[in-house]
Amino acid sequence: MLRPTKATTILLNVPSLLGLLLVVTGGDSWGQTTYSPVVGFVKVTVNGTNSGSGDNFVGPALLEGEAYRGDIVAGTPAAFTLQAADAAWTSNQFATNNNSHFVEIVASTNPNAVGLYSDIASNTANTLTTTLDLSSQLAGGETIAIRPHKTIAKVFGATNDYALGQGAAATSDTISVLTPGTSPVFSSYYYRANQTLGGTGWRSTANPVTDQANRPLRIGEGLLIKRKQTASTEIILQGYVHEGPLRIPLKKGFNLVDPVAPMTDQSAATPTPGPVFSLGGIASDTRIPSVLDALLLRGGSSTADILSIRSGPSFTSYYYRSGQTLGGTGWRTTTNPATNVENSVLPATAAYYFQIRGTGGDWVRPQPFSLP
């Protein structure tokens, strides 16, 4: 059941979003207090070549609204069967255009299931078939939410709203998504304009003809925006804030992920207090440890898993140091094995670049804020 939204409106100023989040509170028809999903926007600067290489690692951070919320009756391999009274879908309404929607487990008596998600491969009137087999985690009676994925057109505008460099593939700005693994591959897209044949619009660098406006930008996928212009530009990310924990898979090899958690922007000369992710340290009202130390392989800089964050023209690479002579144990940078950096703040709306040398697993990303 979707939550009622007719109630008193309260505007919360959240500095990380550089805008307003709308929270609706009040009484529903059962006399209970409820709230609407949290919505807002994030302003992101896309640096041009005057600020370095023009490479920008961006996490879209915000989601599309829920299309459905309901309960599972039973789970079968790679499928969810939902209560017929709650579900009355049309055939494949969630699977058009290359798995256009995904399903997330938002409540379960099995805590290891909460935050799992998968693309939807097909659906009937009351059954979802998912691309990933989540059935081993189902305890029965889970609550699920279905959302459409963001797309290139939804994020960047059907006609290139934010004036990314456009034209031919060789000269346009590109938006790239990484297929993770030991042999990672970037798929790159650009806005094609003023070219003979092939038309105008979003295209793949591998195919100048086929429209890619509705190419999904999946939950958890980070973006590499390659700005080829000298000047920087600004894009505005809009949508719903993800509530609760999220299980982001990290595969052996290389991963570029979006933590799906808009945070306080600490890059200003005088940062405004608010929630931030730190590598480790002690949790507080505003500081949320990443909990990555429980997942990433520990060791030396040449053997441990590596988390790299891009800031301006360069990367800072972190690892959890353990079992080494001198220098101690804990979070370190690859350039300084002696200094403890557990209190380093991870930037807002950034994509995180992981080199997983161990087995990987799910990063159970904490919720970075509390709701009324």
**Among residues 348, 353, 319, 349, which one has the least CA distance to residue 336?**
319
The yes-or-no verdict on residue 319 having pLDDT over 60 is yes
The yes-or-no verdict on residue 279 having pLDDT over 90 is yes
Bridge partners of 350, per DSSP, are 58
The yes-or-no verdict on residue 371 having pLDDT over 80 is no
Specify the range with the lowest mean pLDDT, choosing from 101-110, 264-273, 279-288: 264-273
- What tens digit of pLDDT does each residue of 53-81 get? 899 999 998 999 999 998 887 666 556 67
The two three-digit tokens of residue 273, written as one number: 């207090």
Averaged pLDDT for residues 91-117 = 90
- What tens digit of pLDDT does each residue of 139-158 get? 888 889 999 999 999 999 99
At which residue do the structure tokens 């920008």 appear?
A: 56
> What CATH number has the domain spanning 68-148?
2.40.30
- What tens digit of pLDDT does each residue of 176-196 get? 999 999 999 999 999 999 998
The yes-or-no verdict on residue 223 having pLDDT over 50 is yes
What's residue 272's pLDDT? 66
What's residue 22's pLDDT? 32
Q: Quick one: pLDDT band at residue 29, thresholds 50, 70, 90?
A: very low
Specify the range with the lowest mean pLDDT, choosing from 139-143, 242-246, 348-352: 139-143
- The contacts of residue 111 (CB under 8 Å, 6+ apart) are none
Percent of the chain with pLDDT over 70: 83
**Among residues 88, 122, 125, which one has the least CA distance to residue 103?**
122
Residues 23, 2: Cα–Cα separation, whole Å: 15
In angstroms, how far is CA 101 from the centroid of its own chain?
15
What's residue 23's pLDDT? 32
Q: Quick one: pLDDT band at residue 240, thresholds 50, 70, 90?
A: very high
Q: What is the value of pTM for the model shown?
A: 0.86
What's residue 8's pLDDT? 24
CATH 2.40.30 boundaries in the chain = 68-148
Inter-residue contact 75 to 84 (CB < 8 Å): no
What's residue 21's pLDDT? 34
Residues 119, 162: Cα–Cα separation, whole Å: 28
Inter-residue contact 145 to 103 (CB < 8 Å): yes
Average model confidence (pLDDT) across the chain = 84
Q: Show the DSSP H helices in 42-181 as ranges.
A: 96-99, 152-156
Averaged pLDDT for residues 83-109 = 84
Averaged pLDDT for residues 350-355 = 95
Top-confidence residue, 189 or 311: 189
What's residue 56's pLDDT? 93
The yes-or-no verdict on residue 337 having pLDDT over 90 is yes
